[in-house]
Chains A and B, each alone.
Chain A
Amino acid sequence: MTPAQPDMTAPGPGATSAATGADSGSGSGSGSGGTRRRALRGDRSRGGAGRGAGGPARRSAAARGTARPGIGWALPAVVFFGLFALVPLVMVAVLSFTSWSGLGSPSFAGLTNWTKLFHDPVMIQSLWLSVLLTGLGVVVQTPLSILIGVWAAGPQRGRAVLAAVFFVPLLLSVTAVSVLWRALLDPNFGVPAQARWLFGDGDLFGSRTGAIGVLVLVSAWQYTPLHSLIYQGATRAIPKVLYQAAAVDGAGRVRQFFHITLPQLRNAIVTSVILMVVGGLTTFDSVLILTQGGPGTDTTITAFYMYEKAFKSFDYGAGAAIALLLVVVATAISLVVVRLSGYDRMAGTQEGLS
């Protein structure tokens, strides 16, 4: 392979005009053979590394030629993020070892908050409740959103229109959705008051099962569209060849779904479930508005308990300790997210094709 010269000079004028014309499509088209081949491979993440493959001479020419931004470009964002996200994160750890009522300054309290926390039945229960609600959310939403997503991925025009309507709940804020459902299920003015034959005394928020059911229902109503969108995209990316081959073999619609669609959606399922888990563990707004953690403490999940401890009982130290617990759990899960959404994921379902 010849070093830099032809590759560097040939696309010069063409690429520059493309750049000012802001047209990435013609930009790669007017490039040299090397560029085109890279584009054909569709290997965008390695676009930079591909340049190095030409040998050391070529790399140094490029490095000398291109103006690279210094770290200073990143500095404002880093400082801002550090100040408003990382400093509080460190402080939450510090505050969890202090006692502070919101007035004056926090005073060191050692492990008091932590020992109290681990002997607090409401706290232990809140962890279980968080896991229960998250698990129920995954169990309810995953099959629903797979069915809707696969259905919406079909080429029919009517499906696209309906899918756009299905999207509406996602446009409302969590607050709005919770307020709406609270009004809808109100024991005195809502649907239960009109349909006593179905709801009994009509107070869904008065029993543990009812309250948990409402929370699961409302979050499914709001978030199913998001997850079905993920599945819709993933389904459209499944190679048509697979279905054609299956049809030739005489596989019907149901068998195609279970033997092609579902296995091909594996990565999408992982992504969607992780999003559900992280979202579920940090649920707060809907609990505050719909059930206030009640009846009693029957729906007091961890994030809500943290809010109650800190901002209702003014025990900020305990609140910080609960928050830290939340961070640890969320970080552990997010590390899994980063691992799973890495490059190893990309190759996954396309083995043996091409």
Chain B
Amino acid sequence: MSATVGPPAAGPRTARSARRAARRADAAGSAVGSRPNYLAGAGAFLWLCVVGLPVYVMLGASVRTKPDYTAGGPLSLPGTFGFGAFTRDFSSGFGRYFLNTAVVTVSVVAIVLLLVPPLAFAIVRNRGRATSGVFRLFLLGLAVPAQAVIVPMFYLISKAGLYDNLIGVILPTAAFCLPVCALILTGTMRDIGAELFEAMAIDGADTRRVFFQLVLPLSRGGLSTIVVFSALQAWNGFLFPLVLTQSESSKVLTLGLYNFQTQYGTDIPALLAAVVLSTVPVLLVYLFARRALVQGLMGVGGK
């Protein structure tokens, strides 16, 4: 569906300028004879408040002192300004959680990038019965929620001696990214024209060269989407770390937030400062790579 609106980033300048021209034409077309919609404007403003107030409370509280927050309440204007809340977070171990989350995220993305492109290549280009079976397997995999396998996962990871080890979080997290990533990337690779493969064949290229010189460069849009998708899954993951880790040294951010809330529930500025900390990297990606992030967040929903 969204493919008709915004084609994958692979088709560069021409597609983009065409899109821009189309948008301009749209604007010109509908600007004629349409009055401003005040009711919709009011509704949008209302929703802006619904979205904005909690975000304001989060940002506001993170720079306030605890007594100021308690006295004024969440919605009042900050009477103090400082980064004490952030300092308290770091002294209670959030630096460590941050690092652990980064390790998990990078490893999950690496595993996904190693496994999914060859898989999608085989699914798209090998027309055997076995590969279509593989594709159906991953489609069914979409249906399996992490909650469903958490009990045997706990059993397996404990038996493998990986309990309370970041590797034990990384492996299942990566595995559960595979179905969506495979679906996204096969979609991108299907768009590569058959005549390009034929041309490569005439040049005498073997499978490996076709993969590295044709398929990978032309799948950049899909690749960036799966990187962002799996990075988000890993960064925001909660259930696997909750069940598969225990000690302070292998705690990730989301778990840190949860524990912080149950243990120091009254230091709300520090708690919300931790929420801000955990969101900063995602926010940065949003500012600089919005398109890839939006597509990564949508996962299969956008297809």
Contact = CB atoms under 8 A, between A and B. Distances in A.
Interface of A: 7-9, 11-12, 15-16, 18-20, 22-28, 31-32, 35, 39, 44-45, 47-48, 50-51, 62, 65-74, 76-78, 80-81, 83-89, 91-92, 95, 100, 106, 144, 147-148, 151, 154-156, 159, 162, 164-176, 179-184, 186, 189-191, 193-194, 221, 226, 229-230, 233-234, 236-237, 240, 243, 247, 253, 267-268, 271-272, 275, 278, 282, 284-285, 288-289, 303, 306-307, 310-311, 316, 319-320, 323-324, 326-327, 330-331, 333-335, 337-338, 341
A24 to B, nearest CB: 5
Contacts of A179: 257-258, 260-261, 271-272, 275
Given A7-B195, A76-B118, 16 more contacts: A25-B12, A62-B194, A73-B119, A74-B122, A74-B126, A106-B155, A176-B279, A179-B272, A183-B272, A237-B5, A271-B301, A278-B145, A285-B238, A323-B148, A327-B144, A330-B148
A171 B286 contact: yes
Contacts of A73: 118-119, 121-122, 126, 207
A271 B121 CA distance: 27
A68 B268 CA distance: 58
A169 B283 CA distance: 11
Interface residues on B, range: 35 or more
Contact of B143 (A70, A233, A275, A331): A331
Interface in B24-68: 26-27, 29-31, 33, 37, 40, 43-44, 47-48, 50-52, 54-55, 57-58, 61
A331 B178 CA distance: 17
A65 B130 contact: no
Given A19-B218, A48-B194, A189-B69, A85 B122 contact: no
A51 B205 CA distance: 20
Given A28-B193, A69-B126, A183-B268, A330 B145 contact: yes
B213 interface: yes
Contact of A155 (B27, B73, B127): B27
B275 A84 contact: no
A70 B220 CA distance: 23
A71 B131 contact: yes
Interface in B155-206: 155-156, 171-172, 174-176, 178-179, 182, 190-203, 205-206
Contacts of B289: none
B218 A170 contact: no
Contacts of A70: 122, 126, 207
Contacts of A166: 47-48, 51
Contacts of B10: 22, 24
B12 A23 contact: yes
Contacts of B235: 173
23 contacts: A66-B198, A68-B125, A68-B127, A69-B126, A71-B134, A73-B126, A77-B182, A81-B137, A84-B175, A92-B151, A155-B31, A165-B48, A173-B278, A180-B54, A190-B73, A221-B50, A221-B54, A253-B37, A271-B1, A306-B147, A310-B151, A316-B151, A338-B142
A179 B261 CA distance: 7
Contacts of A271: 1, 301
A243 B26 CA distance: 12
Interface in B250-291: 254, 257-258, 260-261, 265-266, 268, 271-272, 275, 278-279, 282-283, 286, 290
A326 B75 contact: no
Nearest to A71: B130
Contact of A319 (B1, B69, B111, B151): B151
A333 B143 CA distance: 8
B254 A173 contact: yes
A89 B147 contact: no
Contacts of B33: 247
Given A73-B122, A168-B51, A51 B194 contact: yes
B210 A67 contact: yes
Given A22-B217, A155-B26, A168-B55, A162 B268 contact: no
A87 B178 CA distance: 15
Given A69-B121, A175-B254, A267 B152 contact: no
Contacts of A76: 114-115, 118-119
B243 A311 contact: yes
A316 B155 contact: yes
B126 A334 contact: no
A19 B199 contact: yes
Contacts of A88: 149, 152-153, 156
Given A168-B51, A240-B29, A338-B139, A47 B122 contact: no
B294 interface: yes
B51 A320 contact: no
Interface in B4-33: 4-6, 10-15, 23, 26-27, 29-31, 33
Contact of B74 (A22, A183, A267): A183
Closest 5 CB pairs of A and B: A334-B143, A84-B175, A173-B236, A91-B152, A88-B149
A154 B70 CA distance: 42
A95 B151 CA distance: 9
A326 B148 contact: yes
B119 A74 contact: yes
Contact of A69 (B29, B74, B118, B279): B118
Nearest to A316: B151
A189 B73 CA distance: 6
Contacts of A95: 151-152, 155
A19 B217 CA distance: 8
A15 B12 contact: no
B193 A35 contact: yes
Contacts of B47: 144, 148, 166
